[in-house]
Structure 1
């Protein structure tokens, strides 16, 4: 058991777990700049004051997740471990403080990164990647609801030890809504290979539901608004990087085990700005 400070840069959209109910995968950087993954974290069960945001420094007791071979993978000492929220790194001065931490070790060639992931001595599973070119952002429909068997199991787990039976628990227990679309970037890196990778990001999920509300339930308009943010704004108007991570299940078996787990999009540096010599 060791207190560890982590700068949170990644929070995935919640998924359902038979063992822990509703979970968020959190990833970030230690004070020395090394990557760390924290899983499981039952984020929506945390008290309001313990709900950290991206770019918060947090401190908690972490131990190596022995059921996960990936070197960056840790877990809270217990599922009820306290998470202490510290300073939040702001975006002043063109995001300079965030860039100083996040851009220490930028990958530009995804083929080389995949080799590191497959190297059993390294087994790299988290990185920040600079795309060479982003070609598209795609929205594809998927299942609109969570697996009903998994929902039933979670509700039964919730009812155990409570004052409510299963039927009463159904009426009061709320699960995060499932996004009925998959979102993916189509892009290249220095290896010139065109790839399509799905993005799983808390920020994207929140944007989808906000846009759906503004669009009065029109999913076509909603997907277009999401694309405008993640392609037109983040790529064309900002300096886009991908936070990327592997999944435990596919790390060793998939030709490309990485997916995009977050976006980092500081302002573009003004290359047209010329410093005039002082004449007087």
Structure 2
């Protein structure tokens, strides 16, 4: 295994796996700007000092994930994981811009990106939409899949290394299932229209927190999320972190989803000496 230093950009909302328990897909960039995906990561089971926030630097030993053909995918040795530089409490957008965009190509054409993905050249990228058309919320199952929970119980009994289904259900009460799929409809630089789901941890937790503040009123919670992701973020220099799923990478016409959003202020216009003439 090789130790890597990673700047964390992506943490997806927890999902339940048929093989593991609660999992978070994590991705970031190395110091040379190349992407890396870490999976599996049972995030809430990490030690407190290992729980990395977005925009922090971590170090961890990794090995290529032989069960995942996507070039950026690695398996982490979680025993070696350490947070070496936490995200600053005061937002430093210029530093984040420098780290993210310094050695990173920003895609603006979706067809170019999909073509590279189909050639297995890429499965993670920074994307700048030309125009956001709408933000949407569609209802989905409000409960975790009982078939997956039952399968986990079966595996735990066979191997005697996993949690019981009651323990798993109890843990998932702490991380509620978000009963909506959130998505952006947008145009790329060619005018191509696309709709992509947003799987980011932040949007899931925003909904959960808004639901609590709204006294359980789902409509109010969804509206608060829409205000944040549409009305507020459109006033910023919005970029997407896009990623494919292993299941859909080779079969979907567009295998990408939005696994993170980056919304710094628009860069300030630098004073040009010729403007003074």
Task: Report the TM-score when normalising by structure 1.
Answer: 0.88
Matched, 1:34 2:37: no
Q: How many pairs does the alignment contain?
A: 270
Matched, 1:178 2:177: yes
2:249 to 222, 230, 251: 251
Contact 2:49 2:82 in 1 (8 A): no
Match of 2:50 in 1: 50
Instruction: Tell me: CA distance 1:157–1:33, structure 2 relative to 1, closer, same or farther (3 Å).
Output: same
In 2: Cα distance, 1:269 partner to 1:91 partner = 21
CA offset digits 1:86-113 (Å, max 9, x no partner): 1134486861111012123111111111
Match of 2:6 in 1: 6
Matched, 1:134 2:147: no
Match of 1:20 in 2: 20
In 1: Cα distance, 2:26 partner to 2:112 partner = 24
Contact 1:91 1:98 in 2 (8 A): no
In 2: Cα distance, 1:220 partner to 1:90 partner = 34
2:261 to 237, 260, 263: 263
- CA apart distance, 1:171: 8.0
Match of 1:210 in 2: 209
- CA apart distance, 1:154: 3.3
Match of 1:83 in 2: 81
Q: What secondary structure sits across from 2:215 in the alignment? A: coil
- CA apart distance, 1:204: 0.5
In 2: Cα distance, 1:276 partner to 1:116 partner = 41
In 2: Cα distance, 1:250 partner to 1:174 partner = 26
Contact 1:128 1:241 in 2 (8 A): yes
- CA apart distance, 1:268: 1.5
CA offset digits 1:123-169 (Å, max 9, x no partner): x100000010001000010001011122234356668759x9766x4
Unaligned runs of 5+ in 2: none
Match of 1:108 in 2: 108
Contact 2:176 2:208 in 1 (8 A): no
In 2: Cα distance, 1:43 partner to 1:255 partner = 31
In 2: Cα distance, 1:47 partner to 1:8 partner = 17
Contact 1:94 1:267 in 2 (8 A): no
- CA apart distance, 1:82: 2.9
Instruction: Tell me: CA distance 1:92–1:177, structure 2 relative to 1, closer, same or farther (3 Å).
Output: closer
Unaligned runs of 5+ in 1: none
Task: Report the TM-score when normalising by structure 2.
Answer: 0.89
Matched, 1:223 2:222: yes
Q: What secondary structure sits across from 2:221 in the alignment? A: helix
Match of 1:198 in 2: 197
In 2: Cα distance, 1:224 partner to 1:195 partner = 22
CA offset digits 1:44-65 (Å, max 9, x no partner): 1112221111011011110000
In 1: Cα distance, 2:164 partner to 2:111 partner = 52
Q: What secondary structure sits across from 2:230 in the alignment? A: helix
Instruction: Tell me: CA distance 1:170–1:10, structure 2 relative to 1, closer, same or farther (3 Å).
Output: closer
Instruction: Tell me: CA distance 1:174–1:157, structure 2 relative to 1, closer, same or farther (3 Å).
Output: farther
Q: What secondary structure sits across from 1:36 in the alignment? A: strand
